[in-house]
Amino acid sequence: MSPRHRSGSSRAATIVVVIADIMAVILGLWILMYLLDANRANDLVNFVQDAARWLAGWSHDLFTFDEAWARVVAGYGLAALVYLFAGHALANVLRRH
């Protein structure tokens, strides 16, 4: 494999990891803001909540715990873990090729 091709794969892997990490950070930030009862009238809180809701659309109401905080932690936390694991696994595949 040529060094140029390997370098491109490495850059692509880095981009995938950075995107996956940013997605997980947004989800983790929303969990933290929710647990700390952040002011929902604040623009930053609204932005983070909207982004997290979009990112976790598939897992948002996946769990039906009685406590709302447990649903938020489980639903958004699962999405964050999936993005982290999937992003880093894809990056490892890209680095090998």
- Cα separation, 27 vs 81, in Å, equals 10
Q: Is residue 67 classed as helix, strand or coil in its secondary structure?
A: coil
Which residue from 50, 1, 4, 5 is spatially nearest to 27, judged by alpha carbons? 50
pLDDT digits (tens, 9 = 90+) for 61-85: 889 999 999 999 999 999 999 999 9
pLDDT digits (tens, 9 = 90+) for 18-63: 999 999 999 999 999 999 999 999 999 999 999 999 999 999 888 9
pTM: 0.87
User: 14: domain range?
Assistant: 3-96
- Cα separation, 8 vs 49, in Å, equals 34
Confidence of residue 1 (pLDDT cuts 50, 70, 90): very low
Report the number of distinct structural domains present in the chain.
1
